[in-house]
């Protein structure tokens, strides 16, 4: 597994980038700037905004590398091992085809996911990204990774701006 990821040139960079983004989270920076009175709420919003500009594309890149390089091969390996040991009585080739088709953005799996996302569309990505709960952007970016939709990052980024501004107003009213 580790050798397969190393051959593709992914290595541990996605995990390192996710760790760095978790530590230097725009929301955490925003709260720190407001709590310690380092900046006004609007200036704190601007600082958090400029920190968050590369955040959405970096999350997309890191999660797509993890999905394609680790999750799909690991699932494939689990099914192969379980089938060899007799836990599953299914055809191994059938499941290998299924996992390979998950990597193909034009497969029927992806078409089903896109049909499920279509009623929400880009408005849904914007609304879910703008909400104040912490995992909204992670959920929307993950759905864009699975659907291979880079265009979906635009409403997510716009929703993130609304989220950061709302958070700056909220945290300034709570902490000051």
Residue with tokens 């929703």: 159
What are the Cα distances from residue 136, in Å, to 66, 107, 132?
A: 19, 26, 8
Name the average pLDDT for the chain.
79
> CA-to-CA distance for 153 and 173, rounded, in angstroms?
30
The half-sphere exposure of 78 on its side-chain side, counting CA atoms within 13 A, is: 7
Distance CA 67, CA 142 (A): 9
Q: Does the predicted model carry a pTM greater than 0.85? A: no
- Band (pLDDT 50/70/90 cuts) for residue 5 is very low
Domain span at residue 160? 2-175
How many helices (DSSP H) and strands (DSSP E) are in the chain? 11, 0
**Number of separate domains in the chain:** 1
Nearest by Cα to 56 from 145, 165, 131: 145
Confidence class of residue 158 from pLDDT cuts 50, 70 and 90?
A: very high
* 9-34: pLDDT as tens digits: 567 788 888 888 888 888 888 888 88
Summarize pLDDT for 89-126 with one digit per residue, the tens. Answer: 566 677 667 666 666 656 665 666 566 666 778 888 89
pLDDT (tens digit, 9 = 90+) per residue, 45-78? 999 889 888 889 998 998 888 877 777 777 777 7
* CA 115 to the chain's CA centroid: 19
């Amino acid at each position: 597994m580790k050798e397969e990821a190393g051959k593709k040139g992914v290595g541990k960079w996605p995990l390192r980038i996710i760790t760095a983004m978790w530590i230097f989270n725009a929301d955490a920076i925003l709260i720190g700037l407001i709590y310690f009175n380092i900046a006004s709420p609007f200036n704190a919003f601007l600082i958090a905004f400029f920190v968050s500009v590369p955040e959405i594309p970096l999350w997309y890149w890191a999660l797509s590398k993890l999905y394609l390089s680790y999750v799909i091969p690991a699932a494939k390996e689990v099914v192969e091992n379980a089938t060899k040991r007799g836990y599953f009585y299914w055809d191994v080739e059938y499941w290998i085809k299924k996992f390979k088709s998950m990597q193909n953005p034009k497969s029927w799996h992806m078409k089903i996911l896109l049909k499920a996302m279509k009623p929400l569309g880009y408005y849904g990505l914007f609304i879910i990204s703008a909400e104040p709960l912490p995992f909204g952007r992670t959920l929307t970016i993950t759905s864009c990774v699975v659907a291979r939709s880079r265009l979906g990052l635009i409403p997510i980024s716009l929703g993130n701006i609304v989220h950061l501004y709302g958070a700056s107003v909220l945290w300034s009213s709570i902490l000051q």
